[in-house]
Amino acid sequence: MKICVINGPNLQLLGIREPDVYGKITLDDIVARMKNLAKNFKNLKVEFFQSNNEGDIVDKIGNLYNSGCDGIIINPAAYTHTSIAIYDALKAVNIPTIEVHISNIYKRESFRQHSVTAGACLGQISGLGITGYECALSALVDYINNNSENSKE
């Protein structure tokens, strides 16, 4: 099973970016924690991608079609609130996707309280910090195992 983790703009700055909101964890910490968790699942490969550019994220999602990717975990960051292009890309490839936010977007500024992209996802986890990514990984593996024809972990 292959899962791709996509992180959007400014998430490369985790650790120094508004630590009161996002904590002190870095993107490398997230990658390390997810790789560690992935060891618990047989034959699970996790790939990571981060970009500050909407088009590159749209290209990445499009290229996952027919690539053997079984699931996507995405934190579209600020594009969550604006990107019909990312929403359309997720709908187009039709790969089960979980949206993750480190902060609770529903407790923040009103412009963050709506997700354009969540409507293309299985579900959304918001406000659990780094744990949200780990929950998303476990939930997605479970979902894929229960819903794919030749289910393999």
Q: Cβ 54 to ligand DQA, closest distance in Å?
A: 13
CB of 112 to ligand DQA, least distance (A): 4
In 10 A of CB 149, how many CB atoms?
Answer: 4
CA dist 66 → 44, 47, 89, 145 (Å): 17, 15, 14, 18
Nearer Cβ to ligand DQA (60/101): 101
45-50 β-sheet, strand order:
45-50, 2-7, 71-75, 97-101, 123-126
Residue of minimal Cβ distance to ligand DQA:
77
61 vs 77 by CB, closer to ligand DQA: 77
The active-site residue out of 79, 87, 101, 133 is 101
* Annotation says 101 is catalytic: yes
- Its sign, for the CA torsion 46, 52, 58, 63, is negative
Provide, rounded to whole angstroms, the least separation between the CB of residue 120 and ligand DQA: 15
Instruction: Name residue, tokens 């407790």.
Output: 107
The residues that touch ligand DQA, with contacts defined as CB under 6 A, are 10, 75, 77-78, 80, 101-103, 105, 112
Tokens of 60: 């990445």
Whichever of 1 and 34 has its CB closer to ligand DQA, that residue is 34
What is the Cα–Cα distance from 109 to 29, expressed in whole angstroms? 27
C-beta closer to ligand DQA: residue 75 or 97? 75
Write phi, then psi, for 110 (nearest 5 degrees).
Answer: -60, -30
- Rounded to a whole number of angstroms, the minimum distance from the CB of residue 103 to ligand DQA is 3
- Residues forming the active site: 22, 101
